[in-house]
């Protein structure tokens, strides 16, 4: 017997239509569908945007063959999840011809920058790492402004990431293969509250 909490709130196709309509009418929100539940992300603040700019510049300088995209992804085999990461590192042409929600075959890394909202802990630290690992995305980078740390998840096994490294802002951290970029996280200290 399936518990009521295990049932998705809607079908993935219903979510896609709802998200399309919301994008046209609701400013200030971005929708996701993880673990069968509708999630709402607030539009990023200025510091959040600056962190993504910083990371984009580093990626372009060290890996000009890649781009940090703003792209919705189809994640999870279970319940057909739809995530909207803050950044998706993939080849420049990876999503040409795909719609709002793309496959993850060419995705090398997803990035989330925590927002100051009530469900950040569950969404960014629990649900998304699981969804990204299930999908086989090689690296999940979490820039956690609440805790002042950067966490790099690597080696997905189809259920979870087998390796996790957490460093405080100000320390260097290496993004593992297939990325191979070292981040000096010192500037992140300037973009948190």
Was domain 4-191 assigned CATH 3.40.1190.20?
no
The answer to whether residue 8 scores a pLDDT higher than 80 is no
Q: Compute the distance between CA of residue 166 and CA of residue 152 in angstroms, rounded to an integer.
A: 6
Q: What is the pLDDT of residue 125?
A: 73
Q: Are strands 87-91 and 109-113 parallel, antiparallel or unpaired?
A: antiparallel
Task: For 121-172, write each residue's pLDDT tens digit.
Answer: 566 677 889 889 999 999 999 999 989 999 999 999 999 999 999 999 999 9
Question: CA-CA distance, 142 to 167, in Å (whole number)?
Answer: 11
Query: Which pair of structure tokens corresponds to residue 125?
Result: 């630290």
The Cα 99–Cα 86 span in angstroms is 17
Read off the pTM. 0.80
Model pLDDT for residues 87-128, shown as the tens digit of each residue: 999 999 999 999 889 999 999 999 999 887 666 656 667 788
Pair 31, 19: CB distance under 8 Å: yes
Confidence class for position 174, pLDDT limits 50, 70, 90: very high
CB contact at 8 A, 94 and 125: no
**Average of per-residue pLDDT values in the chain:** 83
In the prediction, which pLDDT does 189 show? 96
Q: What is the DSSP string of 98-158?
A: --SEE--TT--EEEEE--SSTTHHHIIIIIHHHHHHHHT-SEEEEEETTTTEEEEEEEE-S
The predicted pLDDT at position 83 comes to 87
Residue 111: count other Cβ atoms within 10 Å of its Cβ.
21
What are the sequence ranges of the domains in the chain? Answer: 4-191
pLDDT at residue 1, as a whole number: 40
């Amino acid at each position: 017997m399936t518990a009521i909490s295990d049932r998705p709130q809607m079908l993935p196709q219903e979510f896609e239509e709802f998200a399309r309509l919301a994008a046209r009418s609701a400013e200030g929100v971005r929708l996701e569908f993880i673990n069968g539940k509708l999630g709402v992300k607030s539009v990023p603040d200025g510091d959040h945007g600056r962190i993504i700019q910083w990371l984009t510049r580093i990626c372009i300088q060290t890996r000009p063959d890649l781009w940090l995209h703003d792209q919705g992804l189809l994640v999870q085999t279970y319940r057909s999840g739809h995530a909207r990461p803050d950044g998706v590192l993939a080849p420049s042409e990876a999503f040409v011809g795909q719609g709002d929600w793309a496959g993850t075959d060419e995705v090398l890394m997803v990035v989330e920058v925590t927002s100051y909202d009530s469900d950040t802990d569950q969404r960014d630290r629990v649900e998304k790492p699981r969804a990204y690992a299930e999908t086989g995305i090689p690296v999940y980078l979490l820039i956690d402004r609440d805790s002042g740390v950067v966490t790099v998840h690597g080696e997905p096994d189809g259920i979870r990431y087998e390796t996790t490294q957490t460093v405080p802002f100000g320390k260097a951290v290496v993004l593992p293969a297939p990325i191979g970029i070292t981040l000096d996280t010192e500037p992140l200290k300037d973009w948190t509250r």
